[in-house]
Homo-oligomer: A and B are copies of this chain.
Amino acid sequence: MPNPKPSLHTCLSPALLHLYDVSNAIVVIVDVLRATSTICTALNNGARCVIPVDSVAKCIELSKQIGGISAGERDGKIAEGLEHGNSPFEYPAEFIKGQTLVLTTTNGTKLLHIALEKGAGHIVTGSFPNLGAVCDYLVSQQQSVILGCAAWKDRINIEDLLFAGAVISKVKKHFDINCDSSSMSETLYAGAKKDLFGFMKAKNASHYRRLSGFGLEKDIQYCLTPDLANVLPVYDNGKLVLPNS
């Protein structure tokens, strides 16, 4: 008899993470707009590592201590006291190469810390810009997977679900998927994939409204485009790094 396939679940809000057994799974932190898109972009552009922290105060303190770049947002804008924001365009190679980014965001880094507290076995970050790398990794590991959506202050959002759907559509034959949140995500993605940006706009997605109100359509376009920064950030001892880096 062939080995049973590992399971895959999608968790649509940090407030639901307690329902899943993260200790025996790979947890993919998904915060499409924009934390996890920015994380893979910074690493792809040569950042030494990204240190996710859960408060602005820690971000300022740690970045001073280690000579890193303090960055992050609260409510979609650069948080007071930080040097940089949460846009992937702030981290081109000429700026970020060899640097350490200390990052705090409203949802993405918060979810990562919740997953850690709950004893997550393995943590990676996922977003459209590194969709391919995430899928290759999940297929290669033959372990259970939880796609953890960062949402917005615990409220479910469309774009993280679309990313979950994109992953599922690519890896599903390798997993045993009995999870309504996963099949909903896959169904929504199937209807949206031809034009993700247009879908977000047509559905009046809350995050589309929030960011386009700040003039950040370019960020949204980038963050919905697959494989522009196709590397795999892996959480290791307090840092997100590229494997074998």
List A residues at the B interface (Cβ < 8 Å).
12-13, 15-16, 19, 153-158, 161, 178-181, 183-184, 187-188, 191, 203-207, 209
Partner pick for A180 among B180, B183, B187, B206, CB 8 A cutoff: B206
Contact B183 A187 (CB under 8 A): no
Q: Which residue of B lies closest to A192 (CB)?
A: B187
Contact A187 B203 (CB under 8 A): yes
4 cross-chain pairs, A with B, having the tightest CB-CB distances, nearest first: A183-B203, A158-B180, A157-B180, A156-B181
CB distance from A19 to the nearest CB of B (A): 6
Partner pick for A178 among B12, B19, B204, CB 8 A cutoff: B204
Contacts of A181 in B (CB 8 A): 155-156
CB distance from A224 to the nearest CB of B (A): 15
Contact A184 B183 (CB under 8 A): no
Contacts of A13 in B (CB 8 A): 13, 16
Contacts of A191 in B (CB 8 A): 187, 191
With known contacts A184-B161, A187-B191, A178–B209 Cβ distance under 8 A: yes
- A181 to B178: give the CA distance in the assembly, Å: 21
CB distance from A13 to the nearest CB of B (A): 6
Contact B184 A204 (CB under 8 A): no
Contacts of A158 in B (CB 8 A): 180, 183-184
Contacts of A206 in B (CB 8 A): 178-180
Contact A180 B154 (CB under 8 A): no
20 additional contacts, CB 8 Å, given A155-B180, A161-B184, A180-B207?
A15-B15, A15-B16, A16-B16, A16-B155, A19-B153, A19-B154, A155-B179, A156-B180, A157-B180, A158-B180, A158-B183, A158-B184, A178-B209, A179-B206, A180-B203, A183-B205, A184-B188, A187-B191, A187-B203, A188-B188
CB distance from A173 to the nearest CB of B (A): 14
Contacts of A187 in B (CB 8 A): 188, 191, 203
